[in-house]
Amino acid sequence: MARSTRESILTAAAELMRHKGYAGVGMKDIADASGAPIGSLYHHFRGGKTQIAREALVNAGAAYGLLIPTVVDAYTDLGEAVDGVFRQAAEDMAHTGFANMCPVASVAAEVADTVEDLRQATGGIFGQWIDGGTAYFVGRGLDGARARDVTLALIGALEGAFLLARVLRSAEPLLAAGRVLAPQYRGTVLTAPAGVGKAAI
């Protein structure tokens, strides 16, 4: 791989902040976890901590946004797809001991009212997920308004259920969300995946 120092810093920061939030992670922590000394952090990111957080969130967020389309790709019935998304999420969380899944949510919750710069960055990421998901579902035959509502409801319900599942250390909130959301979409047939749709996200 031969990852650059810059990349190491961003992946270390993303992983740390996913679990400990923004204020809870120090530059020293990022330096230690990435293997780079403090000076290198400021050499590569002159904007300091906020710039590192911003770029780390954008990187991790772009990758994480592919999750829903990737899972849904395997289904042709929207109801089963919704069910599959929450079952998959429940399985993944159980495997990690109910540690945080989403690399954006915790930091977003922490900075939304306080660090305008990072609020905008996280807003951009969520916006891309929403637009990308909407385009994906439109590509699979749903009309625009319905596609957007499904995407918003899926992302919202996932983020909320992630939080409850982490705190309660239980998959129940994720499975309950699936049980409630899936039935109404059962019978809605999705057209064949384009394969290109995912790239749009």
Where does this chain bind DNA (CB under 7 A)?
5, 25-29, 36-44, 46, 48-50
Residue 88: how many CB atoms within 10 A of its CB? 17
Nearer to its own copies, 44 or 151 (CB): 151
**Least gap, CB of 95 to its own copies (angstroms):** 15
State the DSSP code for 142.
-
**Least gap, CB of 1 to its own copies (angstroms):** 27
**Least gap, CB of 34 to DNA (angstroms):** 10
Nearer to DNA, 37 or 127 (CB): 37
Choosing among its own copies, DNA, none, which partner's interface includes residue 63 (Cβ < 5 to 8 Å by kind)?
none
Extended beta strands in the chain, E state: none
**Least gap, CB of 120 to its own copies (angstroms):** 9
For residue 182, give both structure tokens.
Answer: 């899936």
**Least gap, CB of 129 to its own copies (angstroms):** 9
Residue 74 makes CB contacts below 8 A (sequence gap 6+) with 81, 84
Instruction: Give the number of residues written for the chain.
Output: 201
**Least gap, CB of 103 to its own copies (angstroms):** 12
- CA dist 74 and 83 (Å) reads 12
Choosing among DNA, its own copies, none, which partner's interface includes residue 38 (Cβ < 5 to 8 Å by kind)?
DNA
Residue 68 makes CB contacts below 8 A (sequence gap 6+) with 85, 129, 133, 136, 151, 154, 155, 158
Nearer to its own copies, 10 or 111 (CB): 111
**Secondary structure (3-state) at 144:** helix
CB 16 within 8 A of CB 33: yes
Choosing among its own copies, DNA, none, which partner's interface includes residue 157 (Cβ < 5 to 8 Å by kind)?
its own copies
Nearer to DNA, 4 or 96 (CB): 4
Question: Which residues sit at the interface with its own copies, rule CB under 8 A?
Answer: 19-24, 99-100, 105-106, 108-110, 112-114, 119, 122-123, 126-127, 148-150, 152-153, 155-164, 166-169, 172-173, 176-177, 179-181, 183-184
Choosing among DNA, its own copies, none, which partner's interface includes residue 48 (Cβ < 5 to 8 Å by kind)?
DNA
Residue 163 makes CB contacts below 8 A (sequence gap 6+) with 105
Residue 50 phi/psi, 5° resolution? -65, -35
- CA dist 137 and 193 (Å) reads 9
